[in-house]
Amino acid sequence: MTILAIRHGGANAIADYGPHFAEFAPQLELRLWDDPALDLAAVDYVLMWGRDPERLAKMVNLKAIFSPGAGVEHIVNDPTWPQHVPLVRMFTDGFARRMGEYAILGALALMKDLPRNIAGQQARHWDQFDPEPIAPEVRVGVMGMGNLGSVTAKMMQAFGFPVSGWSASRKDIPGITSFAGMDELPEFLAQTDMLVMVLPDTAATKGLMNAERFAMMPKGAGVVNAGRGPQLVLADLMAALDSGHLHGAFLDVFAPEPPPADHAVWGHKRIIMTPHNAAFDTRRERARYVAGAILAHGRGEALPNLYQAGRGY
Ligand code: NDP
Ligand code: OXD
């Protein structure tokens, strides 16, 4: 029997994931992470969010760790994590599609000036105005052109936006201009009216969008951040909004999450917040992905979408 221990979704994990794993890989034995009867040395795979270094260290025969999310900083930021064990990042079609939909929602919300509409409604003020821009006039720049960012970019392109992307390595996607590396970041930002951030949280992305880089963007630009909170300096973003240089922001991720109750971001008139729910996989989608990978691994095939320590994501 192959054992998969689950540390995601609390005490309901087995009830929630069980029927899906039973369909996709009935030969897997699912066990709750903190089941006191679990023989830790017998665990083959884990699906885990967050940290429990002590228990993880006792799983001495682990073949792989699966993250239920695309971001893996919740595991790798703990220096004691077992780095010899392959770490698989989540990716499914539904995941990418939700991210694309979120980015389109954010871009449209800022183009249509939803913050102004919401302020008007809250003040019971019939603030009639004409939000002019249409998609073909708004140059979208997607920061992070990986599994989620590249699908997002293509969905935005299909919607009618002119799209470019920025990533560590150059991409070749028809109709999408590719910028790569720090040297090309200023040029990328200078031609971006709507910045869509889908980057991982790494040493290199922390604080990436700061006052200096917001200033490189055209006046009136918008920012959608669905990557991670630390890649954007929130105080600098709010200052750029307050000065009128940037027009609005649509933010899903923060550092910390949630922001402190007295943080000015909650009441900022040019910011719309969502509670880190831009994109996710359902239990069923995750189970299909993890079961497929475990079965393939059992047949001697490579694990998909592995974390690479050298690049930090
Ligand atoms: P991928 O690893 O597939 O893609 C990451 C992209 O970022 C790649 O294009 C990579 O470049 C680029 N990148 C990374 N570091 C740098 C850097 N220093 N400079 C330039 N480009 C860089 O990840 P996913 O697309 O699967 O996920 C991206 C992130 O989205 C996650 O790590 C997570 O933080 C966030 N996320 C947020 C969610 C939410 O609900 N808000 C949900 C899911 C994910 P290259 O292609 O050259 O490697
Ligand atoms: C993820 C997330 O990284 O949900 O998958 O943020």
Same domain assignment for residues 86 and 103: no
Instruction: Report the CATH number at residue 10.
Output: 3.40.50.720
Q: If you measure from the C-alpha of residue 69 to the centroid of ligand 2, how many angstroms do you get, rounded to a whole number?
A: 4
Do 44 and 133 lie in one domain? The reply is no
Q: How far is the CA of 11 from the centre of ligand 1 (A)?
A: 30
| pLDDT digit string, tens, across residues 42-53 | 999 999 999 999
Ligand 1: residue whose CA is nearest its atom 17: 168
Q: Across residues 60-86, what is the average pLDDT?
A: 96
Contacts of 230 (CB under 8 A, 6+ apart): 201, 205, 206, 207, 255
User: Do residue 205 and residue 231 come from a single domain?
Assistant: yes
pLDDT single digits (tens) 258-311: 999 999 999 999 999 999 999 999 999 999 999 999 999 999 999 999 999 999
**Which residue, by CA, sits nearest to atom 1 of ligand 2?**
69
| Same-domain check for residues 212 and 269 | yes
Mark whether 121 and 135 lie in a shared domain: yes
* Active-site residue list: 228, 276
The alpha helices in the chain, defined as continuous H runs, are: 13-24, 53-57, 73-76, 93-111, 114-122, 147-159, 185-190, 211-216, 234-242, 283-298
Strands of the sheet containing 2-7, edge to edge, are 28-32, 2-7, 45-48, 64-66, 87-88
**Ligand 1 atom nearest residue 149's Cα:** 25
User: Same domain for 16 and 87?
Assistant: yes
pLDDT at 89: 98
For the chain, the domain total comes to: 2
In a domain, 23, yes or no: yes
Clarify whether residues 85 and 139 are in a common domain: no
CA of 293 to the centre of ligand 2 (A): 19
Q: Mapping DSSP to helix (H, G, I), strand (E, B) and coil, where does residue 46 land?
A: strand
Q: Residue 256 sits in which domain range?
A: 93-273
Pairwise CA distance, residues 201 & 263, whole Å: 22
